[in-house]
Amino acid sequence: MVYLPEGKFLSTHDSPTNEYTVNIYLVDGGATVAYAIRGELVNNEDGSKKNIYWKYREHRAHVVWIDEETVKINEHTLNIFTDVYDWRSDTNP
């Protein structure tokens, strides 16, 4: 998930203690490909970033922090240290 397209910035969502932020981007695949949502986790202490969410055929994201290390993006709950959601490896599309 390192080389995903950046997309258009939609929203930002800070963790309860503001140590982390999830930025949401809308990726337009063009005339023959559906929209996708990319979720990028930012460590606000050191500025590092990583993609933790990539879902095809979505154009909106509902983001809720459960606690400092758990975030729910749409229907997927992720531990920010261990989990990544990538629709391409989803066994339940």
**What is the residue range of 82's domain?**
8-87
Residue pLDDT, tens place only, 45-82: 999 999 999 999 999 999 999 999 999 999 999 999 99
- What per-residue confidence (pLDDT) applies to 93? 40
Assigned domain for 16 exists: yes
**What is the rounded distance in angstroms from the CA atom of residue 79 to the CA atom of residue 75?**
14
pLDDT digits (tens, 9 = 90+) for 23-42: 999 998 776 778 999 999 99
3 domain-assigned: no
Q: How many domains does the structure of the chain reveal? A: 1
Contacts 24+ apart (CB under 8 A), 80-85: 80/20, 80/41, 80/52, 83/52, 84/1, 84/51, 84/52, 84/53, 85/39, 85/52, 85/53, 85/54, 85/55
Kindly state whether residue 23 falls inside one of the protein's structural domains.
Answer: yes
Residue 37 lies in a domain: yes
Note the pTM of the prediction, 2 decimals: 0.88
Residue 93 lies in a domain: no
Within a domain: 73:
yes
Domain for residue 67, yes or no? yes
- Of the candidates 91, 75, 33, the one whose C-alpha atom is nearest the C-alpha of residue 57 is 33
